[in-house]
Structure 1
Amino acid sequence: MGSGHYFWAIFYFASLCSASLANNAKINFREKEKKVLDQILGAGKYDARIRPSGINGTANLATMVKVNMFLRSISKIDDYKMEYSVQLTFREQWTDERLKFDDIQGRLKYLTLTEANRVWMPDLFFSNEKEGHFHNIIMPNVYIRIFPNGSVLYSIRISLTLACPMNLKLYPLDRQICSLRMASYGWTTNDLVFLWKEGDPVQVVKNLHLPRFTLEKFLTDYCNSKTNTGEYSCLKVDLLFKREFSYYLIQIYIPCCMLVIVSWVSFWLDQGAVPARVSLGVTTLLTMATQTSGINASLPPVSYTKAIDVWTGVCLTFVFGALLEFALVNYASRSDMHKENMKKKRRDLEQASLDAASDLLDTDSNATFAMKPLVRHPGDPMALEKRLQCEVHMQAPKRPNCCKTWLSKFPTRSKRIDVISRITFPLVFALFNLVYWSTYLFREEEDETF
C-alpha cells in the first residue's frame, strides 16, 4: 500500500510540473507575440500613412488588394424606395513587406489585431450605399491578421442599405438585378488595384430566405471608373432576384377576376330590378377602384405602364362596362315600352275609325257615293301585282341565319342586349387573359439579359 501511495504522489507532482511548464510556455509564447508586434509596429518603425510597395517590393507599382465576401442575409428589397438591405462579412487581403516577422519555426502562424488604424488600410467604399453600420455587440466584429510573409487579412461584419434601380415594366412578373459596388475613393489605379480573390470570391448563406424574391444567381465583375482626377479601381457583384408570383396571384389577380365575374351577375337579373343591378355595379366598381389604388400605393410613381397597370385597368374597364350595359338596357327597355304604347294607340285609333265608318253606313244606307273598298277584289291589277311579288319572294332561296333565329326568341331589344352581354363579356375577357399571359410571360423570358 505504501508503494502505491508513493506512485500516485509522484504522478500528481509530475502533472503539476508539466502544467506549470505548459502555462509558462504559453505565457512566454504570448510575450513573444507582443515582442513581435512591438518590433514591426513600434514607434518610428511603421507608418500607417504610407502605402505598401507593389509586387516584389517595387515602389512604382500598384498595391494589389484581393477582395472576397460572405453574404449572411438579405433582409428586404423595397420596390418603392428602390433599395435593398444586406448583411455581409467583408474581407480584404494584401501584402505589406514591412510587416514580415519570424514565425518561430512555424509555431507563430499569424498575429491578430483589433485596431484597424495601426496598419495601412485600403480606402475602399461602397459607391451605391445609402446607409450602413458596423456591428459592435458584444465586441466590434472586426479583426486583422498579419502573417509571417507580410500578408494582411482584414475581416469585418457590416450591414448596408444599397440603391437598386429597378425596371418595373413587367411587375409583378419581373426579374431585378441589384448590384453591390466597391471602389477606391482616393487612390487611383496607378497606386491601388482591387481584384477578386481566385476561386470563390462571393459566398452566400445556404438557408437564405426572402419573403417575395428568390436569389437565382450572382456574378462578379469589374467596373473601373474614369473621372477628371483619374481612373479608380472598382468591383461589383450583380445579384439576380426573381419575384415570387404566387403572392400576387392570390392577393391581386384572383380577386380582380372574381370582381369582374361578379359584375356579370347583373346580366342575369331582371330588367326591372333597377336597385339590385345598380347596387351591384357600383359596389364592384368601387371595390375594383380601391384594389387598384392599394396596389399603386406600394409602388413608386413611374412614367411607364406596368404589367399590373394593364391588368387592373382592363378589369376596371370590364366592371365599368357592365354598369354601362345596364344603362343601355334600361334605355332600350323604356324605348321598347314606348314603341309598344304607340302600337297600342295606333291599333285603338284604327279600331275606332272602323267602328265610326260602320256606324255611318248603317245610319245612311240610301247615300249614293262611291266608297273605296278596304279589300281589293281578285281581279284588281294592284292586288295581282302584289301577289306576283310575294310569289317571287317566296320562291327565292333563303339562307338560314342562326344568330337571327336565336335572337328572335327574345322579342325586346333590352332582353337581346342582356343575352348578347352574357356571351360577349366572358369571351372578350378570356381573350384578354390569353393575350395578357402569353405576352408578358414570353417577354419575361426575352428580357432576361443577365
Structure 2
Amino acid sequence: MGSGHYFWAILYFASLCSASLANNAKINFREKEKKVLDQILGAGKYDARIRPSGINGTENTPTTVQVNMFLRSISKIDDYKMEYSVQLTFREQWTDERLKFDDIQGRLKYLTLTEANRVWMPDLFFSNEKEGHFHNIIMPNVYIRIFPNGSVLYSIRISLTLACPMNLKLYPLDRQICSLRMASYGWTTDDLVFLWKSGDPVQVVKNLHLPRFTLEKFLTDYCNSKTNTGEYSCLKVDLLFKREFSYYLIQIYIPCCMLVIVSWVSFWLDQGAVPARVSLGVTTLLTMATQTSGINASLPPVSYTKAIDVWTGVCLTFVFGALLEFALVNYASRSDMHKENMKKKRRDLEQASLDAASDLLDTDSNATFAMKPLVRHPGDPLALEKRLQCEVHMQAPKRPNCCKTWLSKFPTRQCSRSKRIDVISRITFPLVFALFNLVYWSTYLFREEEDETF
C-alpha cells in the first residue's frame, strides 16, 4: 500500500510540473509575439506615412493592393432617390517588406492588430457613396493581420448607401444595374494600383432576400479614371437586379383592369338611368385618376414615358371614353325624341288636312261633276304622301351596308340610335381593350429581353 501511495504522489507532482511548464511556454510565446510587434512596429522602426515598395521590393513600381468583399445584405433599393443600401465585409491585401518577421518555426502564423493607424493603409474610397458608417458593437468590427512574409490583410464591416442611376422606361418590367465603385483618392496609378483578388473576388450571402427585387448576377470590372492630376486606379462591381413583377400585378395592373371593366357596366344600364350612369362614370374616373397619381408619387419625375404610364394612361382613356359614350347616348336619345315629336306633328298635320278635305267633299255633295285639279296644292294629302315616298326612295341605300347588316342581327335593329350606340360599345370597348393588352404585353416583354445587356 505504501508503494502505491508514492506512485500516485509522484504522478500528481509530474502533472503539476507539466502544467506549469505549459503555462510558462504560453507566456513565453505571447512574450515573443510582443517582442516581434515591438521589433517591427516599434518607435523609430516603422513609418506608416511611407507607402510600401512595389513588386519584389522595387521602389519605382506601384504598390499592388488586392481587393475582395463579402456581400452580407442589401436592405433597400429606392426608386425615387435612385439609391440602394448594402452591408458588406471589405478586405484589402498587400505586401509590406518592412513588416517581415520570424515565424518561430511555423508556430507564429500571423499577428493581429485592431488599430489601423499602426501600419500604412491604401487611401481607397467609394466614389458613388452617399452615406456610410462603420460598425462598433461590441468592439470595432475591424482587424489587421500581418503575416511572416510581410503580407498585410485588412478586413472591416461597413454599411453604405450608394447612388444607382436608373432607367425606368420599362418600369415595372425593368432590370436595373447598380454599381459599387472603389478608387484611390490621392495616389495615382504610378504609386498605387487596385486589383481584384484572383479566384472569387465577390461573394454573396446565400438566400439573399430583397424586397421587390431579385439579384440575378454580378460582374467585376475596372474603371480607371483620368483627371487633370493624373490617372487613378478604380474597381467596380455591377449588380444586376430584376424587379419582381408579382407585386405590381396585384397592386396596379389587376385593379386598373377591374376599374375599366366596371366602367363598361354603364353600357348595360337603361338610357333613362341618368344618375346611375353618371355616378358610375365619374366614380370610376376619379378612382382611376387617384390610383395613377399614387403610382407616380412613388417614382421620380422623369422626362420620358414609362411602361406604367402607358398602361395607366390607356386605362384612364377607356374610363373617360365610357363616360363620353353616355354623353353621346344622351344626345342621341334627345335627338331621337325630337324626331319622334316632328313625326307626330307631321301625322297630326296630315290628319288635319284629310279632315278638311272630307268636309269639303261633304259640302259639294250636291254637285254632279267634280273636276280633278291638274296641279295639286302643297297641302294636298295625296301630294304630301307622294313626296314622302320619294324622300324615302332617295334615302334608301343603293347597295347593302355591312355595318347595318351586322346590326340587323341584334334584336335592337328597330330601336333608336342611342340604343345602337350602347350595343356597339358593348362589343367595341372589350375588343379594343383586349387588343391593347396584346400589343402592350408583347411589346414590353420582348423589349425587356432585347434590352438585357450586361
TM normalised by structure 1 equals: 0.93
Q: How far is the alpha carbon of 1:361 from its aligned partner?
A: 1.1
Give how far 1:351 is off.
0.5
> SS of 1:160's equivalent?
strand
TM-aligned CA distance change 1:352 to 1:141, over 3 Å: same
Identity %: 98
Instruction: Check 1:341–1:408 CA distance in 2 against 1; reply closer, same or farther (3 A cut).
Output: farther
Q: Cα distance 1:208–1:409, how it changes in 2: closer, same or farther (>3 A)? A: closer
Structure 1 equivalent of residue 399 of structure 2: 399
Query: Cα deviation per residue 1:325-352 (whole Å; 9 max; x = unaligned)?
Result: 0000001001101101110110011001
Counterpart in the other structure of 1:83 = 83
1:366 Cα deviation after fit: 4.1
Q: Is the 8 A contact 1:410 1:416 kept in 2?
A: no
Which has the larger displacement, 290-299 or 379-388?
379-388
SS state at 2:409 partner: coil
Shift of 1:236: 0.3
Cα distance change, pair 161–355 in 1 and its aligned pair in 2 (3 A): same
Deviation at 1:364, TM superposition (A): 2.6
d(CA) in 2 for partners of 1:8, 1:99: 50
Deviations 1:22-48 (A, max 9, x none): 111111111100100000001110000
**Of 421, 431, 434, the match for 2:435:** 431
CA distance in 1, matches of 2:385, 2:292: 67
- CA distance 1:330–1:245, shift in 2 (3 Å): same
Q: Distance in 1 between matches of 2:146 and 2:227?
A: 34
Distance in 2 between residues matched to 1:167 and 1:395, nearest whole Å: 59
TM-aligned CA distance change 1:343 to 1:375, over 3 Å:
farther
1:107 aligns with 2:111: no
String of CA shifts for 1:247-301, please: whole Å, max 9, x gaps: 0001000000000000000000000011111111011001100110110000000
3-state SS of the aligned residue for 1:161? strand
1:232-311 maps to which residues of 2 (within 5 A)?
232-311=232-311
Pairwise CA RMSD of aligned residues? 3.8
| Aligned partners of 2:145 and 2:154 also within 8 Å | yes
Question: What TM-score results when the alignment is normalised by the length of structure 2?
Answer: 0.92
CA deviations over 1:383-433 (Å, ceiling 9, x no partner): 999999999999999976564134247798000000000000000000000
Please give the secondary structure, in 1, of the residue aligned with 2:173: coil
Change (3 A) 1:232 1:396: closer
Q: 1:379 to 1:226 in 2, by over 3 A?
A: closer
Helix, strand or coil: the match of 1:235?
Answer: strand
Deviation at 1:14, TM superposition (A): 2.5
Instruction: Identify if the C-alpha distance between structure 1 residues 53 and 426 changes in structure 2 by more than 3 Å, giving closer, same or farther.
Output: same
Residues 94-243 of structure 1: pairs in structure 2 closer than 5 A:
94-243=94-243
Stretch of structure 1 that moved more, 366-375 or 298-307: 366-375
Q: Within 1, Cα distance between the matches of 2:277 and 2:395? A: 47
CA distance in 2, matches of 1:197, 1:404: 77
Residue 19 of structure 1 and its aligned partner are, at CA, apart by: 1.9
Q: Deviations over 1:163-204 (max 9, x none)?
A: 000000000000000000000000000000000000000000
Q: Which is worse superposed, 369-378 or 240-249?
A: 369-378
| Contact 2:350–2:381 (Cα < 8 Å) also in 1 | no
The whole-number CA distance in structure 2 between the counterparts of 1:427 and 1:420 is 11
* In 2: Cα distance, 1:356 partner to 1:149 partner: 131
Structure 1, unaligned runs of 5 or more: none
User: Structure 1 residues 32 and 381 mapped into 2: Cα distance closer, same or farther (>3 Å)?
Assistant: closer
Are the equivalent residues in 2 in contact too, given 1:67–1:92 (CA < 8 A)?
Answer: yes
